Amino acid sequence: MFERSGIVLAGLLLAVPGTGASDESLRDPTRPEHAGVPAPPTERAPATRYVVSAIFYSADRRVAVVNGRAVSAGDRVGAARVRAIGRDSLTLDVGGRTITAQLARTTVRR
């Protein structure tokens, strides 16, 4: 009889707010201290990759396919502006820097 009343009493203590175990007092010992804390902001965003998959080059028109999108000189690709399109590369202005993206080389098997 006393055993049963002890179980009932323990159940009541856990059910009453402010008594027993609560979420704040129990900590998972396997969880890292920094879990749930947001990472500090980075100073620079990760570098965007510019993949040039095709260049169409003629005397009067130059178009490149960059990251799956057709662009001409002056167009924007993400954070970059297309400065010039050559026969096998394109020049981009990215945040005040100039970078060159080469045409991706592919081989055709017979």
Q: What is the rounded CA–CA span in Å between residue 23 and residue 48?
A: 42
Q: Edge to edge, what strands does the sheet with 80-85 contain?
A: 76-77, 80-85, 89-94, 97-102
pLDDT over 60 at 12, yes or no: no
Could you tell me which residues come within 8 angstroms of residue 27 by beta carbon, excluding any fewer than 6 positions away? none
Could you tell me if residue 107 is inside a domain? no
Could you tell me if residue 83 is inside a domain? yes
Could you tell me if residue 98 is inside a domain? yes
Look at residue 10 in the predicted model and tell me its pLDDT. Answer: 58
Specify the pTM: 0.54
Confidence of residue 13 (pLDDT cuts 50, 70, 90): low
Could you tell me if residue 95 is inside a domain? yes
Tokens (6 digits) for 18: 């402010």
Could you tell me if residue 44 is inside a domain? no
| 17-54 per-position pLDDT tens digit | 554 455 566 777 787 776 666 766 665 555 578 899 99
For 92, phi then psi, to 5°, come to -125, 145
Could you tell me if residue 73 is inside a domain? yes
Could you tell me if residue 68 is inside a domain? yes
With contact defined as beta carbons under 8 Å apart, do 66 and 73 qualify? no
Give the residue numbers spanning the domain of 63.
52-102
- Domain count for the chain, please give it: 1
Kindly compute the dihedral angle of the four CA atoms of residues 28, 23, 35, 33, in this order, to the nearest 10 degrees.
-60
